[in-house]
Chains A and B, each alone.
Chain A
Amino acid sequence: MTLAVQFTGVSRVFGEVKAVDRVSIDIQDGEFFSMLGPSGSGKTTCLRLIAGFEQPSAGSIRIHGQEAVGLAPYQRDVNTVFQDYALFPHMNVLDNVAYGLKVKGVGKSERYARAEETLALVALDGYGARKPAQLSGGQRQRVALARALVNRPRVLLLDEPLGALDLKLREQMQGELKKLQRQLGITFIFVTHDQTEALSMSDRVAVFNKGRIEQVDSPRNLYMKPATAFVAEFVGTSNVLRGELAKRLTGQALPFSIRPEHIRFADAQAAASGEVEVCGLLHDIQYQGAATRYEIQLENGQNLSISQANDQWQAGAPLYQPGQPVTARWARAAMIALQDAIPGEGR
């Protein structure tokens, strides 16, 4: 399998700030790859390094085997969908989409034909004569996508492209983007701070924190086997337990993670051999529709969240009340030991 993009020890320093710190990634050809992290974690800078809007302070970036460091954006076979769409306001939709072909010297009839074709791909045929200002947010997003795809890039970069859309439209576009990526077979590199978005669309996700990569894995593995406390807490919600309590429950000094939905309230029966128990005080209950969240203050002061599916169609009286002492129980196998440090130092 060939590599679409390869980072080797890439750093990008802005003054004192290390926006990207010795990052190495291999992104496979044809992969839907997401870069996930909080704002300021370096994911967008990585994308801009691939596009060529930034140059690395150190390290090597290869795009389809070719060294890209020092190349200007217009010399790279990648295209970008911008967060603010960056549509040219003085051109109509068709001219916006045809722009990449125009500057490459493709003749008028061919470039308009290909632009129309690409607009049809994003279900916007017939909108060519409109100005960007006359479109809705979702339509502008599609135009930006078509404009980036018209050059038939081998790698498409998407910088939080769904951030400005409302929830329904965002979920619809997530499905369409995934479908489009399969249909075209090109590499998508998708930057987002929304972990649900990253999990639902990607083949693999890189989790960024403070300019470094904490973990690169499939969505399922990220959720089920987070490598670090940061990943466990950033991807989904998680209880990360440390110290004496962790040692008592696992027999190891390492902190561990337990997902709220993997915990249940202890019933009258004694705990099975593969199970552990903790006691605490229930202090808050949040009704969330599909599930109910219980917040429990443990004896050592740490907080434990429990999530129980509301899978009974009949509304019964709530079983628990705030202020009540409770015992929580979970399977030993559901606990995931975490490394506190970022793995792969000096890999």
Chain B
Amino acid sequence: MTSSGTLAAARLPQPPPVRGSEGRALALAGAAHVVLLVALSFGWQWTSTPLPAVDEIMPVEFVDIADAPRVTQPPEPSIEAAPQETSAPEPTPPEPAPEPEPAPVPDPVPMPEPAPKPEPKPQAKPKPAPPKPEPKPLDTQTLSNLINKALPKAPTKPLNTSDLAKTIQAAQPKNAAIDPRAAATLAQAIRAQVAPCWNPPIGGADVRKMTVLIGAEFLPDGSVTGTPRVLGQTGTSGQNGDYARAFAETARRAVLRCSPLKLPADLYPLWKSVEINFDPEQMT
């Protein structure tokens, strides 16, 4: 993205004005015919007549504009005057990577997949486990990090182990009391609100095999807190990394755009933290 290689085409000769040259071109064409007659009695020929040289393709050179701070966090109130990002034509040194150190996201948490609770999914095919049959699987961990890295730091820590343990303990007794149909209804309510916000790039060549799992935390008023994170992705390969990233971002954007969700307050413990799997297979 910040490559500073010069991609500019060499500047080619300026063309003579096209209209003005028609008379001359005519004369030349006539002359060429004579040449042709002669030439045709030989073997393979490359006869040549001049046409206006057209090339007003202006050279465009790529330069870094890297000396400006990159927005990866919500704007802070006071910033020291940003340096002008209008660097001189000569390539500037490689941009200081703005990497916040790999976020301590407990990324692809090995989820005990299909929850034993049979969610009565209306039309969902039972997906035992996201298949990863790609010959050259992309490192999804890297991809997730790449996507998550650009995110503003969530005000709430996504997960730490003690929180997690607490959550689980808190949820367990409740869980026993919760009607699985309530969970299903809740999932239905979330689906109904998030799906209309999801605009996946369905024209992409690899979209049919792609899914992305997003983790989102909600406040009691139904609004998303922090930025949804990519927990895992299928259908990625070494060839489609850019597409996979754009695809995952559409899912993240869907959750953000639909915030706040309208969900039953009494079930908040159940939807405080949600995993949403986006699968466009049936869309195309």
A binds B: no
Where the two chains meet, the residues of A that have a C-beta atom closer than 8 Å to any C-beta of B are: none
